[in-house]
Amino acid sequence: MARFCPNCGNEVAEGSNFCTKCGTNLGSTNNENGSTVNNYNNQNNVNLPTRNIVTCILLSFITCGIYGIYWFIVMTDEANMVSDEQGASGGMAFLFTILTCGIYALYWNYKMGQKLYQAGQKYNKPVGDNSVLYLLLAIFGLSIVNYCLIQSDLNRFSK
Protein backbone atom coordinates (compact mmCIF):
# COMPACT_ATOMS: atom_id res chain seq x y z
CA MET A 1 0.00 0.00 0.00
CA ALA A 2 1.39 3.41 -0.96
CA ARG A 3 2.18 5.93 1.77
CA PHE A 4 1.84 9.68 1.44
CA CYS A 5 3.17 12.65 3.38
CA PRO A 6 0.40 14.36 5.42
CA ASN A 7 1.98 17.77 4.76
CA CYS A 8 2.61 17.83 1.00
CA GLY A 9 0.95 14.64 -0.30
CA ASN A 10 4.20 13.31 -1.80
CA GLU A 11 4.52 9.52 -2.00
CA VAL A 12 7.17 8.30 0.43
CA ALA A 13 9.05 5.04 0.67
CA GLU A 14 7.89 2.43 3.17
CA GLY A 15 9.67 2.86 6.51
CA SER A 16 10.87 6.43 5.81
CA ASN A 17 10.96 8.75 8.79
CA PHE A 18 11.06 11.95 6.73
CA CYS A 19 9.41 13.12 3.52
CA THR A 20 11.99 13.53 0.74
CA LYS A 21 10.08 16.50 -0.74
CA CYS A 22 9.22 18.72 2.23
CA GLY A 23 11.20 17.16 5.11
CA THR A 24 8.18 16.53 7.35
CA ASN A 25 8.90 14.13 10.20
CA LEU A 26 6.87 10.99 9.53
CA GLY A 27 7.74 9.36 12.86
CA SER A 28 5.94 6.27 14.01
CA THR A 29 3.96 5.35 17.08
CA ASN A 30 2.81 2.12 18.67
CA ASN A 31 -0.85 1.16 18.79
CA GLU A 32 -2.56 -0.80 21.56
CA ASN A 33 -1.36 -4.12 20.08
CA GLY A 34 2.27 -3.01 20.31
CA SER A 35 2.78 -2.94 16.55
CA THR A 36 4.24 0.09 14.81
CA VAL A 37 1.85 2.38 12.95
CA ASN A 38 3.00 5.17 10.63
CA ASN A 39 1.56 8.63 11.21
CA TYR A 40 0.96 9.33 7.53
CA ASN A 41 -1.70 8.24 5.09
CA ASN A 42 -3.11 8.76 1.61
CA GLN A 43 -5.05 12.03 1.50
CA ASN A 44 -6.97 11.52 -1.72
CA ASN A 45 -10.21 13.07 -0.47
CA VAL A 46 -11.21 16.11 1.49
CA ASN A 47 -14.52 16.21 3.29
CA LEU A 48 -16.32 18.97 1.36
CA PRO A 49 -20.05 19.08 0.73
CA THR A 50 -21.22 18.75 -2.87
CA ARG A 51 -23.31 21.76 -3.88
CA ASN A 52 -25.76 21.70 -6.76
CA ILE A 53 -24.72 24.60 -8.98
CA VAL A 54 -28.19 25.21 -10.44
CA THR A 55 -29.67 25.39 -6.94
CA CYS A 56 -27.00 27.88 -5.89
CA ILE A 57 -27.72 30.10 -8.91
CA LEU A 58 -31.47 29.99 -8.30
CA LEU A 59 -31.05 30.79 -4.60
CA SER A 60 -28.78 33.70 -5.50
CA PHE A 61 -31.43 35.18 -7.80
CA ILE A 62 -34.38 34.47 -5.48
CA THR A 63 -32.64 36.11 -2.51
CA CYS A 64 -31.48 39.10 -4.59
CA GLY A 65 -27.83 38.15 -4.19
CA ILE A 66 -27.76 37.40 -0.47
CA TYR A 67 -27.15 33.70 -1.08
CA GLY A 68 -24.46 34.72 -3.59
CA ILE A 69 -22.60 36.46 -0.76
CA TYR A 70 -22.83 33.32 1.38
CA TRP A 71 -21.71 31.22 -1.60
CA PHE A 72 -18.69 33.52 -2.14
CA ILE A 73 -17.68 33.23 1.52
CA VAL A 74 -18.07 29.44 1.64
CA MET A 75 -16.18 28.88 -1.62
CA THR A 76 -13.30 31.00 -0.34
CA ASP A 77 -13.08 29.08 2.92
CA GLU A 78 -13.28 25.71 1.17
CA ALA A 79 -10.60 26.67 -1.37
CA ASN A 80 -8.33 27.76 1.49
CA MET A 81 -8.96 24.43 3.19
CA VAL A 82 -8.22 22.19 0.20
CA SER A 83 -5.15 24.17 -0.87
CA ASP A 84 -3.78 24.43 2.69
CA GLU A 85 -3.14 28.10 2.00
CA GLN A 86 -3.67 30.65 4.73
CA GLY A 87 -5.28 33.31 2.57
CA ALA A 88 -7.98 35.73 3.57
CA SER A 89 -11.03 34.02 5.03
CA GLY A 90 -14.29 34.22 3.13
CA GLY A 91 -15.62 37.01 5.33
CA MET A 92 -12.44 39.04 5.01
CA ALA A 93 -12.36 38.52 1.22
CA PHE A 94 -15.93 39.81 1.01
CA LEU A 95 -15.06 42.81 3.20
CA PHE A 96 -11.97 43.57 1.06
CA THR A 97 -14.13 43.38 -2.07
CA ILE A 98 -16.57 45.94 -0.63
CA LEU A 99 -13.81 48.25 0.66
CA THR A 100 -11.98 48.27 -2.69
CA CYS A 101 -15.18 48.72 -4.74
CA GLY A 102 -14.72 45.33 -6.38
CA ILE A 103 -11.03 45.55 -7.27
CA TYR A 104 -10.15 42.83 -4.73
CA ALA A 105 -12.66 40.55 -6.48
CA LEU A 106 -10.41 40.54 -9.56
CA TYR A 107 -7.48 39.38 -7.44
CA TRP A 108 -9.77 36.87 -5.65
CA ASN A 109 -10.85 35.28 -8.93
CA TYR A 110 -7.26 34.90 -10.11
CA LYS A 111 -6.14 33.51 -6.74
CA MET A 112 -9.02 31.01 -6.62
CA GLY A 113 -7.81 29.52 -9.91
CA GLN A 114 -4.33 29.10 -8.46
CA LYS A 115 -5.56 27.62 -5.18
CA LEU A 116 -7.76 25.06 -6.89
CA TYR A 117 -4.97 24.09 -9.28
CA GLN A 118 -2.58 23.55 -6.33
CA ALA A 119 -5.18 21.49 -4.52
CA GLY A 120 -5.80 19.44 -7.67
CA GLN A 121 -2.10 18.69 -7.88
CA LYS A 122 -1.94 17.78 -4.20
CA TYR A 123 -4.97 15.47 -4.20
CA ASN A 124 -4.50 14.17 -7.77
CA LYS A 125 -7.78 15.66 -9.02
CA PRO A 126 -8.37 16.84 -12.61
CA VAL A 127 -8.39 20.59 -11.98
CA GLY A 128 -6.64 22.88 -14.46
CA ASP A 129 -5.06 26.26 -13.80
CA ASN A 130 -8.03 28.47 -14.69
CA SER A 131 -6.73 31.60 -12.96
CA VAL A 132 -6.48 33.69 -16.15
CA LEU A 133 -9.90 32.51 -17.33
CA TYR A 134 -11.44 33.47 -13.97
CA LEU A 135 -9.77 36.87 -14.13
CA LEU A 136 -11.01 37.56 -17.68
CA LEU A 137 -14.57 36.48 -16.84
CA ALA A 138 -14.53 38.77 -13.80
CA ILE A 139 -13.26 41.71 -15.86
CA PHE A 140 -16.15 41.23 -18.30
CA GLY A 141 -18.71 41.05 -15.47
CA LEU A 142 -19.38 37.31 -15.62
CA SER A 143 -18.62 36.50 -12.01
CA ILE A 144 -21.63 34.19 -11.74
CA VAL A 145 -19.95 32.01 -14.37
CA ASN A 146 -16.81 32.02 -12.22
CA TYR A 147 -18.85 30.93 -9.22
CA CYS A 148 -20.19 27.99 -11.24
CA LEU A 149 -16.75 26.97 -12.49
CA ILE A 150 -15.20 27.31 -9.04
CA GLN A 151 -17.99 25.30 -7.43
CA SER A 152 -17.62 22.64 -10.10
CA ASP A 153 -13.92 22.35 -9.25
CA LEU A 154 -14.65 22.30 -5.51
CA ASN A 155 -17.21 19.52 -6.05
CA ARG A 156 -14.38 17.34 -7.41
CA PHE A 157 -12.82 17.32 -3.95
CA SER A 158 -15.92 15.90 -2.29
CA LYS A 159 -15.98 12.71 -4.35
Read off the pLDDT of residues 86-138 as tens digits, 9 standing for 90 and up: 889 999 999 999 999 999 999 999 999 999 999 999 888 888 999 999 999 99
Residues 139, 67, single domain; the answer is yes
Residues 63, 35, single domain; the answer is no
Q: Does residue 75 form part of some domain?
A: yes
To the nearest 10 degrees (0 to 180), the angle between helices 131-139 and 103-123 is 160
Residue 30, strand partner residues: 36
Average pLDDT over residues 70-78: 95
149 near 113, Cβ under 8 Å?
no
Residues 23, 63, single domain; the answer is no
Q: Does residue 31 form part of some domain?
A: yes
**pLDDT at res. 13:** 75
Residues 8, 84, single domain; the answer is no
pTM equals: 0.70
Measured CA to CA, the distance from residue 14 to residue 49 in angstroms comes to 33
Bigger pLDDT: 3 vs 155: 155
Residue 18, strand partner residues: 25
127 near 152, Cβ under 8 Å?
no
Give the lowest-confidence range in 22-31, 69-78, 125-134, 150-159.
22-31
Residues 80, 143, single domain; the answer is yes
Residues 25, 61, single domain; the answer is no
Instruction: Give the residue numbers spanning the domain of 7.
Output: 1-43
Residues 57, 106, single domain; the answer is yes
Q: Does residue 67 form part of some domain?
A: yes
Q: Does residue 48 form part of some domain?
A: no
From residue 122, give the alpha-carbon distance in Å to each of 32, 38, 78.
32, 20, 15
pLDDT digits 0-9 by tens, 13-67: 777 776 776 666 676 444 444 444 444 444 455 678 899 999 999 999 999 999 9
Number of domains in the chain: 2
Name the region of 64 (left: φ>0; alpha: ψ -120 to 50; beta: rest). left
Residues 32, 71, single domain; the answer is no
Q: Does residue 22 form part of some domain?
A: yes
Residues 145, 71, single domain; the answer is yes
